Structure 1
Amino acid sequence: MPGIYITRGMTVSIPQFSIRFREDGEIESSPLTLHVRFDVCPTWVQIAKRHLAAALAARISRETAWQGTDEDAKAQALEVEFEASMQAIMAAAVAWDAAYAVLREHVTIPQAMTDTWRNGRTARYTQVAEVVRRAFSLKPKGAALLRSNLKEIYRYRDLAVHPSGKIEAPLLHPELNLGMEWRFVYFRALNAEVAVQAAAAMLWDLANNGKSKDPKVTEYQKTLATRLAEIFPEGAPVIPSRPAAK
Structure 2
Amino acid sequence: MKVVATIEARMTSSRLPGKVLLPVLGQPMLYYLVNRLKSVNLISEIVLATTTNATDDVLIDFARQEGIFFYRGSEEDVMSRVIGAAETTNADVIVEITGDCPIIDPDLVEQTIQMYLHHDAAYVSNTHISSYPDGMDTQVFSLKSLKRSAAMTDDPLDHEHVSLHMRNHPEIFSHIHLIAPPSLYWPSLGLTLDEQADYLFLKKIIETLNPKNPLFSCLDTIQLLKQNPDWLEINRHVIRKGNT
Q: When you count strand as a share of all residues, which structure comes out higher?
A: 2
Structure with the bigger percentage of helix: 1
Which TM-score applies when normalising by structure 2? 0.27
Q: Which has the larger radius of gyration?
A: 1
User: What is the TM-score when the length of structure 1 is the normalising length?
Assistant: 0.27
